Chain A
Amino acid sequence: MMLSGAEIVVRCLQEEKVEYVFGYPGGAVLFLYDELFKQDQIRHVLVRHEQAAVHAADGYARSTEKVGVALVTSGPGATNAVTGIATAYCDSIPVVIISGQVPTAAIGQDAFQEVDTVGITRPCVKHNFLVKRVEDIAPTIKKAFYLAASGRPGPVLVDIPKDITAAKCEFDYPKSISMRSYNPVSKGHQGQIKKAVQLLMEAKRPMIYAGGGVVLGNAAEPLTKLAKLLGFPITTTLMGLGGFPASERQYLGMPGMHGTFEANMSMHFCDVLLAVGSRFDDRVIGNPAHFAEEPRKIIHIDIDPSSISKRVKVDVPIVGNVAEVLEEMIRAVEASTRRPEEDTLATWWKQVDEWRRRDCLKFKHDGDIIKPQFVVQKLWEVTNGDAFVTSDVGQHQMWAAQYYRFDKPRRWLNSGGLGTMGVGLPYAMGAQLAHPGSPVACVTGEASIQMCIQELSTCKQFRLPIKIVNLNNRYLGMVRQWQQIFHGGRYSESYMDSLPDFAKLAEAYGHVGLRVDKAGDVEDALREAFQRKNDLVFLDFQVDPTENVYPMVQGGKGLTEMILSAEDL
């Protein structure tokens, strides 16, 4: 039977078992919307801004093991989506974006709502396609899903001119796809794995440094098993939180710019570092020259060869899928009669525990004034550490990462690589739709939340009972912190004047709004919010505007050169 291009697109999405499409209609995608209208297998979520469509699809993907899908129109629809696409790209999130394009004959004519979407998005997608024939739609969409989810995941965009969605052809969805130009490695090299295990067994001061690759590769289980088998200290990056249970004794917290004292000291002074799906980001290792001063052997497992030896020279590179490589390593460790030397390891742990005793995350709080850290601690208690937590970008993001202790992967959703303010609420939408009935909290700031505030309307339409935890410090806090420390306290444009009354604003959208001014009311407010199972509750916490995020490694400084508290300034 002959189907139109638009019908074919929808059939392809159905074949891919897509539950939700996050999108926004317009001229170039009218045929597609017409076909969505005629079916009820896929639900379309009408966002209020295309940026949020991609963020929500991205949040859906982060909180599940599935590919998120967004649909936007040509021109401004596509350009609005770019921030969302770049955000997903920087954190390697599998998203398929379908964009409408002007009719084939109009391309290049400066047509109405024409932009070169493939050109604009090229540097921030894993791959993209312009479909030129209706026959190419099905194989292209098949490829798009395959590319997005396999190897190092990432966003893939499919641009479809309007006339192609109207043209007809036979529909046949390919069962499988093979591309001669794309064959991601999954099994690690046996010899390298053997070398790695040997190094680990001989280590005197071993350390595991796991990242987003563990979450993306669904490898929390083998990682936890291997780490326990070895008994080594372990840290997880901002993107790897939940990849190893935070409540385990072996866990040292996050490393890096706002990492814990113990994680950073152990990263720096270890003699063997096992990096698992982490990419030695500048926010993690600080100044690479300073990091290189201390001799250590590095084993690096990553599916993307270009992540290896990019910023730090690696001694044992292992290219492969984390889960498979870790399983191999577990087998090798179990088969071996050798174990790390107990006394040596105990001496190392003594040192690590001494660092840990600095208790670098302690904070002073007394009286009525609400400390932001305290709110996150209470959020963790009230939700039994078992909520999906999204955040935006700024101080609140760091406090959420430091004080909410994640025991499971895919519970923590934030923009690490691009650091995009505005992701918090759409991420929460994606997570809540994927996990109806589970608690979802969006820890945000009064500035970030305003970057996608319009989505409160979407939340109402789709009855998403998200709890917004606004750590309202009346400042672009992270900017203010840098200005305080590096720019002589000249707070240029970092104060937010004329803020709305967020509680009333939430009410205007049909939600529940609560303003909390006193520390003593924090817990009750949180409990009340989570008891309201069917309501979105906007909790506007008036927090200490002067609080800073510690520890802090200044840009250009070494990992061990941390500012631990205001007294160090």
Chain B
Amino acid sequence: MRHVISLLIENESGALSRVSGLFSARGYNIESLTVAPTEDPSLSRMTIVTTGSDEIVEQITKQLNKLVDVVKVVDISESAHIERELLLVKVRATGKDREEIKRTSDIFRGHIIDVTDASYVIELTGTQNKLDSFLGALDASLILETVRSGICGIGRGDRVLKV
């Protein structure tokens, strides 16, 4: 099962390696991991996407909680939540492809944020699925480069992850 774990961790040097080291040492999967400081600069927030049986995910959250620098851990995929990922894709855009790419990007609500006479850079945010389908909709031979941020997640409604 796929799980999305959000955590708050003291923003100290080495914090990231404590978390990533835990996953590699215990053989847990990491599909993606994003991290950045929060509005309180002494804290960082991470979103980790992982897969595993219920028992394994239970151990993952317990082990994360056990890290001395970790302040809070929530498996946000246990209830209603929102996931977003950012995609930047550079495509070859010449001749009649330029119009076609622009149209596809519009359909997916992407933005063209860099233009040369031979290429576009398109920015798109959405769920993992949406980004996958957008890339699928582009002509693969035109894709020059892609970069994805990994997932950020947040609970819906009143649920707040805060100190």
Residues of A in contact with B (beta carbons under 8 Å apart): 118-119, 122-123, 126-127, 130, 147, 179-182, 304-306, 309-310
B21 lies within 8 A of A309 (CB): no
A180 lies within 8 A of B66 (CB): no
Q: How far, in angstroms, from A173 to B14 measured CA to CA in the complex?
A: 25
Q: How far, in angstroms, from A181 to B18 measured CA to CA in the complex?
A: 14
A182 lies within 8 A of B14 (CB): no
Residues of B within 8 A of A130 (CB): 13-14
- What is the 8 Å Cβ interface bit string for chain B, positions 146-163, against chain A (1 contact, 0 not)? 000000000000000001
Residues of B within 8 A of A126 (CB): 68
A181 lies within 8 A of B10 (CB): yes
A305 lies within 8 A of B25 (CB): no
- For the complex with contacts A304-B66, A305-B66, A306-B66, 17 further pairs of A-B residues with Cβ separation under 8 Å are A118-B14, A119-B17, A122-B14, A122-B18, A122-B21, A123-B21, A123-B25, A127-B69, A130-B14, A180-B71, A180-B163, A181-B9, A181-B70, A306-B59, A306-B63, A306-B65, A309-B58
Residues of B within 8 A of A179 (CB): 68
**Whole-angstrom distance between the Cβ of B64 and the nearest chain A Cβ:** 9
Say yes or no: A181-B62 contact (C-beta < 8 A), given A119-B17, A122-B17, A122-B18: no
Say yes or no: A182-B68 contact (C-beta < 8 A), given A119-B17, A122-B21: yes
B114 close to A (CB within 8 Å): no
Closest-by-CB residue of A relative to B72 is A181
Residues of B within 8 A of A310 (CB): 59
Interface of B is mostly: helix
B117 close to A (CB within 8 Å): no
Residues of B within 8 A of A304 (CB): 66
A305 lies within 8 A of B65 (CB): yes
B55 close to A (CB within 8 Å): yes
**Whole-angstrom distance between the Cβ of B72 and the nearest chain A Cβ:** 8
Closest-by-CB residue of B relative to A179 is B68
**Whole-angstrom distance between the Cβ of B65 and the nearest chain A Cβ:** 7
Q: How far, in angstroms, from A114 to B46 measured CA to CA in the complex?
A: 31
Q: Which of B53-86 contact A (CB under 8 A)?
A: 55, 58-59, 62-63, 65-66, 68-71
**Whole-angstrom distance between the Cβ of A422 and the nearest chain B Cβ:** 24
Say yes or no: A181-B71 contact (C-beta < 8 A), given A306-B59, A309-B55: yes
Q: How far, in angstroms, from A181 to B11 measured CA to CA in the complex?
A: 11
A-B contact pairs, 9 of them (CB 8 A): A119-B17, A122-B17, A122-B21, A127-B68, A127-B69, A147-B68, A179-B68, A181-B69, A306-B66
**Whole-angstrom distance between the Cβ of A521 and the nearest chain B Cβ:** 50
Residues of A within 8 A of B25 (CB): 123
Give which listed residue, B10, B62, B68, B69, contacts A305 with CB less than 8 A. B62
Closest-by-CB residue of A relative to B66 is A306
Residues of B within 8 A of A305 (CB): 62, 65-66
Closest-by-CB residue of A relative to B60 is A306
Residues of A within 8 A of B65 (CB): 305-306
Q: Which of B1-32 contact A (CB under 8 A)?
A: 9-10, 13-14, 17-18, 21, 25
